[in-house]
Structure 1
Amino acid sequence: MVTQEFEQRTRQLIDSLKGICAAYGLGNDGNEFKIITQVFLYKFLNDKFTYEAKKIRPELGQALTWEKAMAALTIDELDMLQLQMGPDTARLKPEHFLAHLFGRQNAPEFAKLFDDTLQDIAYTNNDIFAVKTDGGEKIRLFDRVSEFIADPSKRDNFCRALINKLVEFSFERIFTQKYDFYAALFEYLIKDYNSNSGGKYAEYYTPHSVAKIMAAILVPEQVRGKIKNVSCYDPSAGSGTLLMNIAHAIGEQRCSIYSQDISQKSSSLLRLNLILNNLVHSIPNVIQGNTMLHPYHREEGKTLKKFDYIVSNPPFKMDFSDFRNELDSKEHRERFFAGVPNTPKQAVGKMAIYQLFLQHIIHSLKPGGKAAVVVPTGFTSAQSGIDKGIRQHLVDNRMLAGVVAMPSNIFATTGTNVSILFIDATNKENVVLIDASGLGTKVKDGKNQKTLLSDAEEDRIIATFNSKQAEEDFAVVVSYADIAAKDYSLSAGQYFEVKIEYSELTPVQFTAEMRGFSERLNKLFDESTGLKADINKQLAGLRYE
């Protein structure tokens, strides 16, 4: 009950911040998401510091005004307090606290004070919280928020409105909650900003059902709590839904997250997601850049880094024509073992960039690594080309765990049918193929139709896959030889047993059935004869005018 109530209050806070932006002319503005997410993060970091400080020094929580008690600490005491805090807690000074800004909101040039405070927090915590680009630049935690307001005369009031809204709210009571709680908040926070309207670098929010299935198959229940010191990678991370799910399954402190994404916006949202989910230690591994052209993560010998787990929902049709020729070179040839797809001169939407990501993922796996990748369902049965070459590589090298064909419209924003491809370099035996296309309930999602899986349906897919159990018209377990014999098809339907049902008939029943067939057939013949005469009559009556 407390969690539900708090989630509702948090949503109200987010809506209020959006309302302030709208009142100052920034509703649906390209910079609105920066303001909302950064102000939300500033409040979160404040409250996380408060929560940790009161745990370490209970007298702070017992003080009439804890901020004053905090400000009264000596420099040595404050340094010791911060040393005792975990790495997930931002280093803050007394002048960084929200209460300090609230008390000075009537000061002249308040917007400058607000921006300077955020900048100092970003600078103080730059080594931990900055996202890097593939060129080595660091993207700091905060922008100068007030400067998104074009009219300088309105900036002070804008920042005062934000501060007054933040001071009414506190995260402190909820810091004991785990990932599932923050996932719902994060999705609500970014729901208007993770654009899926298409374009060159369209971003899609991966449904939680897909993320849950991927994590539960890669990290089954029986091994949870036993895995440690592993690396998890997503080369097209977006805002991090897949990475959060697998980190939650393994344990946030048992794994390190690595990512790369071409979108600066997505990389900033991923950073926020990592902070919300006790994965701050992985922020230095978040890279904003072009994974295909400039893969960032490398070993000391400069070869591409290999990972224990890889999850990805790569773009299916992104335009890469401006750098396609650079990929078809000696430098990249080992990585793209099945080839680089052509970029058509027309119909840019048909560019199969997922083929590049899929080969990159296979190349980036450790010898015993596992991966789960969302692919268009057409990939599983393509008769030739790069798709078939990739499947053949997986089968011939015995590194395939299976495929789950998902229901149509599992992504509300794209009509492409998708499947989840599971790669496992340790699986040398049978492969599981599941056809879950018949599951789910169709619902309206705005102007689009979406398919929702129930918890029971998700659990059915997971249990069937992990137990390697065949189920009529739903799942088959096949050998690598079986797949090779079917021209490397990974479509479950091609392996389902075709059953012919026979009915026992007596001689009398058989004669009656045949008589009925003959009578119906003779009737159709008579109709066709009459129709033929009719047509000839009509044709004979036609005259040229």
Structure 2
Amino acid sequence: MVEIQFQQKVRELIDGLKAICANYGLGNDGNEFKIITQAFLYKFLNDKFAYEAKKVEPSLAEAEKWEDVLSNMSEDELEMLALQMPADTAILKPQHFISYLFSQQNEPDFSKLFDDTLRDISIQNNEIFAVQTDGGAKIKLFDELSQFISDPSKRDEFCKAIINELVEFSFERIFDQKFDFYASIFEYLVKDYNSNSGGKYAEYYTPHAVARIMAEILVPKDMQGQVKNVTCYDPAAGSGTLLMNVAHVIGETRCAIYTQDISQKSSNLLRLNLILNNLVHSIPNVIQGNTMLHPYHKDGSELKKFDYIVSNPPFKLDFSDFRDNLDTKVNKERFFAGIPKIKPKDTDKMEIYQLFLQHIIFSLKENGKAAVVVPTGFISAQSGIDRNIREHLIKNKMLAGVISMPSNIFATTGTNVSIIFIDATNKEKVILIDASNLGDKVKEGKNQKTLLTLEEEMQIIELFNSKTEKDRFSVLVEYDEIEAKNYSLSAGQYFDIKIEFSELTNEDFNLKLKEYEKDLDALFLQSRELEKELKKQLSSLSYDH
């Protein structure tokens, strides 16, 4: 009950920040998401510091105003306090606290003080919290938020409004909550900013049902708690939904996250997601850049190999501007099945997912596992790169299974999707699941979406992990069976065709035969009448010059 009430308070805080943006003309502005997410993050880091500091120094917890006690500490005492706090805690000075800014809000140039505070926090914590580009530049933690207000005379009031919204709220009581709590908060926080509305973004928000299914199959329940010191990678990470779910089932302290994404917006949202989910130690591995052209993560001169890879890559995207740069000797091994050709009249429909899928296969350790969302057309295409990739998976016996998902599982795209599970340790049978008929249809805005129930999720997970066959739903197939069917991974092609027989007496048979003859006589009569009518109509036609 307390958790539900607090979740509502968090939503009210987010709605309050959105209302401030709207009041100052920034509603639906391109920079609104930066203001909302960064103000939220500033508050979160503030309260996390207070929470950890009070655990280290009991006098802070006992004080009526802990900020006053901390302000009276010497620099040496503050440094010692910082050293005893967890490494994922942002280091703040007394003048960085929201309470301090609140006390200074009537001073001249308050917006400058506000921006300077956020800038100083970014500089102090750059090593831990900065996201890198593939060129080595650092993307700082905070922007100068007041600068998004075009009228300088309104900046002070705007910053005051933000501080007044933040000062009465506290995260401290929920820092012991687990993943699901923060996942729902993050989803609410970014729900208006993580779609392709208002711009041509390739990142789509992966539904939690899809993310949970992928995570629970990659790391089954009997393995959870045993997996440790592993690397998890997503080459098109978006805001990190898939990685958060995998890290959750493995254990946040038992894995290191590695990502790359071409979108700076997505990389900033991913950083926030990592902070919320106790994965700050992986922020240095978050790279903003073009994975296909400049894959960043390496061991020496070779591309790094990973234990787990999850991805929902963009399906179709124009990459004609760098396509020819991929077609080199260096990439021959990585893109073993081929590089999609440029479509001059339809460049935005170039199948970029084929590149991502090959990159993922190449980036897996020998005993690694991957789960990748692909368009369902991939699993049965009879020729081209799709078939070449499937042939590679089958010939090398590195496929665990495939799940064909219901249509509209993604509200933002009507493309039917499937999930392929790659596992080079699976040398036995492959499980194919047709879950296309599951789920409830609901309207989400202007779009129709299919929602799986929790029971349906569990059914898919349990059948896959136990490799259990279910009539017209799941089937186990040998690798050579798949090869015989031109490497098709569509479950329906392997289902047994059942013919039902019913016993008929001689009398029943003759009766049915007479019924069919009667029906045929009626149809033949109708056909003759139509023939007469057509001839009549044709004969009445004349040519008028």
Q: TM-score range by the shorter chain?
A: over 0.9
Code of the residue aligned with 1:536 in structure 2: it is: K
Distance across 2 between alignment mates of 1:519 and 1:303: 76
Distance across 2 between alignment mates of 1:35 and 1:236: 24
Tell me by how many angstroms 1:76 deviates: 2.1
Corresponding position of 2:420: 421
Tell me the SS of whatever aligns to 2:298: coil
Corresponding position of 2:223: 223
Code of the residue aligned with 1:515 in structure 2: it is: K
Corresponding position of 2:384: 385
Corresponding position of 1:449: 448
Tell me by how many angstroms 1:199 deviates: 6.0
Could you tell me whether the CA contact under 8 Å between 1:232 and 1:258 is conserved in 2?
yes
Code of the residue aligned with 2:474 in structure 1: it is: A
Corresponding position of 2:439: 440
The residue correspondences of 1:331-350 to structure 2 (distance < 5 A) are: 331-350=330-349
Distance across 2 between alignment mates of 1:114 and 1:500: 75
4+ residue segments displaced more than 3 Å:
197-201
Tell me by how many angstroms 1:541 deviates: 1.9
The residue correspondences of 1:120-519 to structure 2 (distance < 5 A) are: 120-197=120-197, 200-300=200-300, 302-519=301-518
Give the direction of change, closer, same or farther, for the CA distance of 1:347–1:514 in structure 2 (3 Å limit). same
Tell me by how many angstroms 1:275 deviates: 0.2
Distance across 1 between alignment mates of 2:310 and 2:368: 11
Tell me by how many angstroms 1:348 deviates: 2.7
Tell me the SS of whatever aligns to 1:370: strand
TM-score relative to the length of structure 1: 0.99
Distance across 1 between alignment mates of 2:199 and 2:433: 32
Code of the residue aligned with 1:495 in structure 2: it is: Y
Corresponding position of 1:42: 42
Give the direction of change, closer, same or farther, for the CA distance of 1:51–1:298 in structure 2 (3 Å limit). same
Code of the residue aligned with 2:217 in structure 1: it is: I
Could you tell me whether the CA contact under 8 Å between 1:201 and 1:318 is conserved in 2?
no
Whether 1:538 aligns to 2:523 is no
Deviations 1:187-227 (A, max 9, x none): 11011111323865422000000000000000000000111
Aligned residues: 544
Distance across 2 between alignment mates of 1:403 and 1:292: 25
Q: Could you list the runs of 5+ residues in structure 2 that have no partner in the other structure?
A: none
Tell me the SS of whatever aligns to 2:142: coil
Tell me the SS of whatever aligns to 1:231: strand
Distance across 2 between alignment mates of 1:137 and 1:528: 78
Tell me by how many angstroms 1:373 deviates: 0.2
Distance across 2 between alignment mates of 1:199 and 1:161: 29
Corresponding position of 2:96: 96
Distance across 2 between alignment mates of 1:112 and 1:526: 91
Tell me the SS of whatever aligns to 2:296: coil
Distance across 2 between alignment mates of 1:314 and 1:149: 35
Code of the residue aligned with 1:10 in structure 2: it is: V
Give the direction of change, closer, same or farther, for the CA distance of 1:192–1:200 in structure 2 (3 Å limit). closer
Distance across 1 between alignment mates of 2:203 and 2:312: 10
Could you tell me whether the CA contact under 8 Å between 2:319 and 2:347 is conserved in 1?
no
Code of the residue aligned with 2:332 in structure 1: it is: R
Tell me by how many angstroms 1:533 deviates: 1.6
Distance across 2 between alignment mates of 1:173 and 1:142: 25
Tell me by how many angstroms 1:28 deviates: 0.8
Tell me by how many angstroms 1:74 deviates: 2.1
Distance across 1 between alignment mates of 2:125 and 2:523: 84
Give the aligned CA root-mean-square deviation in angstroms. 0.9
Tell me the SS of whatever aligns to 1:136: coil
Distance across 2 between alignment mates of 1:214 and 1:493: 21
Tell me the SS of whatever aligns to 2:402: strand
Tell me by how many angstroms 1:274 deviates: 0.2
Q: Could you list the runs of 5+ residues in structure 1 that have no partner in the other structure?
A: none
Could you tell me whether the CA contact under 8 Å between 2:315 and 2:352 is conserved in 1?
yes
Code of the residue aligned with 1:349 in structure 2: it is: D
Could you tell me whether the CA contact under 8 Å between 1:200 and 1:319 is conserved in 2?
no
Distance across 1 between alignment mates of 2:543 and 2:60: 104
Tell me by how many angstroms 1:84 deviates: 1.2
Code of the residue aligned with 1:447 in structure 2: it is: K
Deviations 1:95-118 (A, max 9, x none): 111111111111111111111111
Tell me by how many angstroms 1:538 deviates: 1.9
Tell me by how many angstroms 1:536 deviates: 1.2
Tell me by how many angstroms 1:244 deviates: 0.2
Tell me the SS of whatever aligns to 1:210: helix
Deviations 1:377-426 (A, max 9, x none): 00000000000000000000010000000000000110100000100011
Distance across 2 between alignment mates of 1:120 and 1:235: 31
Tell me by how many angstroms 1:349 deviates: 3.3
TM-score relative to the length of structure 2: 0.99
Could you tell me whether the CA contact under 8 Å between 1:374 and 1:421 is conserved in 2?
yes
